[in-house]
Homo-oligomer: A and B are copies of this chain.
């Protein structure tokens, strides 16, 4: 089955310190962050003397059972979920990564991508380092271990000074948890409290599930140390211009999360509203592509006055494995997830609302099944600008030439997907929708990168190892 044509987040991170049910709370935390990664799940805990770890391939609910949680004693825990794409999954890339070095045991969980990891890895390898994963995150542990700084937190900061790129990461030692966010703040990382214990999470929806209160974001360039019930903060890294990933608001994060200080649902509704202004069309119904298009469709419908209808229904039981028919069923990969409601679509002029177009293959199929359901006209509206450039900051994005918008004009894309019209939201409107007083990264739309990436440094090619 051809993969669903979406950009994919690379990870979710959750940590809790000094809580009597640390492993269980971490389990719930990564459960709430499951949408950020479905390939692997792991939890490390500290019992104040040693670290313990359990991780495995699959969904949080499948990796962990009572037995496995029972092997995670201690009152601090660090959890991680990792993304899943077709060819790149591998048990050895599951996180947290647990290592021993002269500073003692350390568990690390990372969301993001280090742009200079290939160079650093090459240098470390030249210096004799051996790598057990193809993950860029392992570089940080090598740098820390080689640092001459006296304390582990100092070594951590020294390592962070050497790496470039995107990182929201956390590190568990027997005594404390360190969390850091890169100076641009590409990926989110939030601070919460529950019964006096501090927690960190990629998104606030993890706090909601455990009844924790959202306190604030870990700031770009900030390093926090959480030990027992206390938190210390430092800003040891050079200040940079913020570059929050705008795609978190467009697609990745859950709509009920507060990300970069703003509720995702509001951003999406606004995107829908601006889209109606920018690309008006005379139509009968606004139909969101579930689930990402739903919040935006409310804004679009309200602004345009065109009624919202759920003309595409998602099958809630789609997951994991699936056995396909041998004889091809047309657009099967889309049909197994989405089913058109003929009564809504038949004879109608339909506005289809989606968050983005990557390769265009899935959009093309959706247009086909909507048309087969009897739609008279199909106007595709996208709540983001054309994606024309790869992301080097933690998103699993196809190579440039696979991005339809980097190769074709909007008109050509419209032709390819078979719609009657196609409208992308302008970057200006996206910025307004997410609160333009904040500063976002929009490299995937503009090809202008906040951190330069040498053209020859396409890490995937270097890091690649053949996996299962």
Using a CB–CB distance below 8 Å, which chain A residues touch chain B?
20-21, 24-25, 27-28, 31-32, 34-35, 47, 49-54, 59-61, 64-66, 69, 71, 92, 97-102, 105, 122, 125-132, 134, 141-142, 145-147, 205, 208-211, 254-256, 258, 263, 265-266, 269, 291, 294-295, 298, 302, 307-310, 313, 315-317, 319-327, 329-330, 335-336, 339-344, 465-468
Contact assessment for B255 and A52 in the assembled complex, using a CB-CB cutoff below 8 Å: no
In the complex, what residues of B have CB within 8 A of residue A295's CB?
310
CB <8 Å contact, B64 and A313: no
Q: Which of chain B's residues has its CB closest to A254's CB?
A: B313
B100 & A61 in contact (Cβ 8 Å cutoff): no
**CA–CA, A128 and B64, complex, Å:** 33
Closest to A331 in B: B211
Query: Is B52's CB under 8 angstroms from A466's CB?
Result: yes
Copies of this chain in the oligomer: 4
Max chain B Cβ within 10 angstroms of own Cβ: one of A59, A130, A298, A327: A130
For residue A45, which residue of chain B has the nearest CB? B466
Q: Are B325 and A25 in contact (CB under 8 A)?
A: yes
- Which residues of B are found within 8 Å of A125, using beta-carbon distances? 100-102, 145
CB-defined contacts of A34 to chain B, threshold 8 Å: 315, 317
A251 shortest CB reach to chain B, Å? 14
Q: Which residue of B lies closest to A309 (CB)?
A: B298
Let me know if B21 and A320 touch, CB within 8 A. no
Judge whether B102 and A327 touch: CB under 8 Å: no
Determine how close the nearest CB of chain B comes to the CB of A32; give it in whole angstroms: 7
Given contacts A145-B125, A343-B265, A466-B50, contact A66 B323 (CB under 8 A): yes
Known contacts A31-B336, A50-B466, A269-B309, then 4 further A-B pairs from the complex at CB < 8 Å, ordered by chain A residue: A31-B322, A34-B317, A100-B125, A128-B142
Q: How far apart are the CA atoms of A327 and B291 in the complex, in Å? A: 33
With contacts A101-B125, A209-B339, A320-B61 known, is A24 near B130, CB below 8 A?
no
CB distance from A76 to the nearest CB of B (A): 14
Q: Which of B61, B102, B145 contacts A321 (CB 8 A)?
A: B61
Q: A31 → chain B, closest Cβ, in Å?
A: 7
Interface-central residue, A69, A126, A335, by most chain B CB under 10 Å: A335
Q: Which 10 A-B pairs have the closest CB atoms?
A: A128-B146, A263-B343, A50-B466, A102-B125, A256-B313, A34-B317, A99-B130, A100-B131, A101-B130, A256-B339
Beta-carbon contact of A128 and B99 below 8 Å: no
- Chain B residues contacting A126 (CB-CB under 8 Å) are 102
Q: Which residues of B contact A127 (CB under 8 A)?
A: 146
| Min CB–CB distance A17 → chain B (angstroms) | 16
CA distance A467 to B298 in the complex (A): 47
Q: How far in angstroms is the closest Cβ of chain B from A308?
A: 6
In-complex Cβ contact of A27 among B52, B142, B316, B323 (8 A)? B323
Q: Which residues of B contact A35 (CB under 8 A)?
A: 316-317
- In the complex, 17 of the A-B residue pairs with CB atoms within 8 angstroms, ordered by the A residue number, are A25-B325, A49-B466, A61-B317, A64-B323, A65-B323, A69-B323, A97-B132, A99-B131, A102-B125, A210-B325, A211-B330, A254-B339, A255-B313, A256-B341, A263-B341, A265-B309, A294-B310
